[in-house]
Every structure is written in structure tokens, then in C-alpha cells.
Amino acid sequence: MRLWSVRDYVFLLSAQSASTLVGAGMNVVFPLLILKFTGSMAAAGVVGVLRSAPYLFLSLPLGALVDRWNRKHIMMACQTGRYICFFALGLVAHFGVVNEWQIYFVCTVDGILFVFFNIAEASVLSSVVPRELLSQASSTNEAGFGTAMILGPAAATLVYQIWGISGALFAGAFCYLCSFLLLTILKTELNVSRVDARSSLTKEISEGIRWLSGARLVLLLACIMGGLNLINAAMPLLAITVGQRLGVSDTSIGTMVACGGIGSVLGSICGTHWLRLHGFGRGVVLAAWLHAIAFGALFAATNLPRLGLVYGLVEAFYSLYAVMQFAYRVKSVPEKLQGRVNSACRLIAFSLYPLGSALAGIISEYCGVQFLLALFTAVAVLLACTLSLSRSIAPTWQEGSVREGL
């Protein structure tokens, strides 16, 4: 059976990609706007904090709720709310009364709805895709994410330069509307693991955490993912800072950021082949080390083409790691615990992203970009060493595929 013959998976991937397209574009446009309003890199870094911080506070209870509620309805409600926010802010911008506080508010609401959508979307994959295709689906999902990362920054900055902020926001609202319509077409039952709504929410959350605490390799992979997200949170601001220092246009900055998306797509496409070539344990460790080396190479990125190339390499090895750890987790977690365990893993994975965004803005403004690069390169090396020396990864060193269980 071929993955592309699974009708509902194609619609789910398309809905996810349309949503990611907006997020990728606004990761560049919103900081540019805040810089325009305030002239502060620290203030621009707040955008990333507000869009990712809700994961810290909401992911665990929402994971349990996702296992209770209809996951399709959750995703549709999220896209409706995001459409309303972007369309309303677009109207405000059209009449010339937009300010940084309104942008911060929309970033916060968008971040909250992202948590709902992201956990529900991750939890339905095993319901939509046959088990034997899960690894390929994980790789394809990451490729779709990377494609959106290519198109989003370039398209958003182009629309922003031609039609202004209102045009960029209306375009984002349209993408969310398209995502909503694609979700309405899904026919697969997406609440098959529904739990008794009368049971204690705390008890359900604890059940997921207990399972994860006993799955040492899944937990380790999630922790490393959190560290990588801490580092990668700095990439958009690094691109903007270096681009402005070189005197290039906003569109050129968006295009350069899109190189990261190209790298992400290539890394995702190669994920399955990488796994077959190196095995799971060796492959995931090698991806972490190559990511650290690529991030360190940013020191040599003294012009826009070099920065785009290195950006692409960083995202390629990041995607390789992300594909393998997610495929391992999806195959290992029982269906009835998908929402709770995925939410706990993603809490760990995203918990450091707000800190990374904040540190990127503060350190680059007060200590300089070179110090930021040195610090985050050291973190990348530390993560690779931790994974390499872990006893949990050793039994998987010779695996040629992602096995069920640990």
C-alpha cells in the first residue's frame, strides 16, 4: 500500500502544511514589524516567546483533553479561531491603527490555538495511516513542514512589501480557512482512543507521564529535541540581524530564511534512507553531531549566500533527527495514550523554545551575535555528547529500522 493512496492522510498533510505556511511566514514578518515599531531586537524576540510559551502551560492538560474529545473537531475549531484573529488584525492594519501590543495579542492567541492543533494533529497520525507506513508518513510530514518553511518566509515578506501588513495578515487568514476546509473532508474516525470523560483529568495526565518516565529512550529523544529547539529558536533572529547588517531587503531576508526550509525538506526526504543506511541508534547520533557542526559553521557565514547555505544544513540535520525520534515515538506509544504522551514529549521539546527566542534577542542586542553563536554551538555539542554517551541509545545502535517498543 502506498502512502499517497491514503486519502485522509493527503488531506491531513495539506491542512497541516497550510497552517505551517502561515506560522513560517509570520516568524519573519512579525519580528520585522516589531523592529519597525520599537527598534529593539529584544522586543522582536518576544514574538517567538509569545507564540511558543503556551506549550509550557497548556500541553499536559490539553493532551488529556485531546484523548477525550473528537480530534478533528479540535483542529477545525483551532483554525476557525486563528482565521478570525488574523482577519480582524488585518482589518485593523488596513485602517492604519495597528500597534505592537495588538501583534503581541494575536501572537499569544495563535500560540494557544497552535498547542491544541499540534497535539491533536500528532495524535491522529496513527489513526489515519496504517502502522507499516508510519515511518514514511513521519518523514513526509517533516518534508511538508520544510516545504512550508521554504514558501512561507519568502511569500510572506513579498506580500508584506507589496501589500503591507494588512495584505500579509489577510493571506494568513486565507491559509487558515483553506486548512479548515481540508479538515472538513476527513472521513476517518479520529476519536478512537477516547477515554471516559468522568475520570480525573489529573489521573489521565499522570498515566501518560508514568508511561513516558518508563520509556527511557523516548524520554531522552524528547529532551534532546528540546535542546535542539532552544538552538533553532535563534535562527530567524540571526537571519534578520545578519541580513540587516549586510544591508539587504526584507524580501532577500525572507528568501534566505527559506533556504532553511529547503534544507528541512531535503533532510526529511532523506530520513527513511538515512535510517536504512545507518540504523536508528547510529543515525540519530550522527544527525545530532552534524547539526552541531553545521551550527558552528555559522561563524564562517560572512555573506548572504553562505548564510543561506549553512542555514539549510542546520535545518537538514535538525529534520533528520526530528523524523527519526518522532517515528520511534509514534510506533512505541499505545493508541489510547497518544494524546497524553505526545503532549508530554512536545512539552519537553518545546519548553526551551521560548527561552531560546528570548535569549537570542537579549544576547544579540547586549553581547553581540558572535557570542550568541559561540554559546549555542557549545550547547549543540553538549547535546550530541549526551546522546552519544547515553546507555539508552546503545541497544538501538545496530537497528536498521524503527522497532515497536523500547
pLDDT at 91: 94
Domains defined along the chain, listed by start:
3-190+201-396 (1.20.1250.20)
Burial of 226 (0-12, 13-18, 19+ CB in 10 A): buried
pLDDT at 324: 86
pLDDT at 69: 82
| 303 SS3 class | coil
Instruction: Answer yes or no: are the C-beta atoms of 89 and 170 closer than 8 Å.
Output: no
pLDDT at 192: 52
Instruction: Answer yes or no: are the C-beta atoms of 225 and 352 closer than 8 Å.
Output: no
pLDDT at 89: 93
Give the cell for residue 5.
493512496
pLDDT at 199: 63
Alpha carbon distance 319, 264 (integer Å): 5
Alpha carbon distance 382, 266 (integer Å): 25
Global pTM? 0.70
| 334 SS3 class | coil
Give the cell for residue 184.
472538513
First-last CA distance in the chain = 26
pLDDT at 385: 95
Q: Read off the pLDDT of residues 269-317 as tens digits, 9 standing for 90 and up.
A: 887 788 778 878 888 999 999 999 999 888 777 777 787 888 889 989 9
Of 271, 243, 272, 269, nearest to 256 (Cα)? 243
Give the cell for residue 139.
518523514
Alpha carbon distance 404, 391 (integer Å): 19
Cα distances (angstroms) measured from residue 239 to each of 31, 358, 377: 11, 15, 16
pLDDT at 1: 59
Alpha carbon distance 157, 252 (integer Å): 9
Q: Which residues neighbour 253 within 8 Å (Cβ) at sequence distance 6 or greater?
A: 28, 153, 157, 239, 240, 243, 244
**With a cut of 50, which residues of the chain have pLDDT below it?**
193, 399-406
For the chain, state the CA radius of gyration: 20
| HEC assignment per residue over 169-183 | HHHHHHHHHHHHHHH
pLDDT at 84: 96
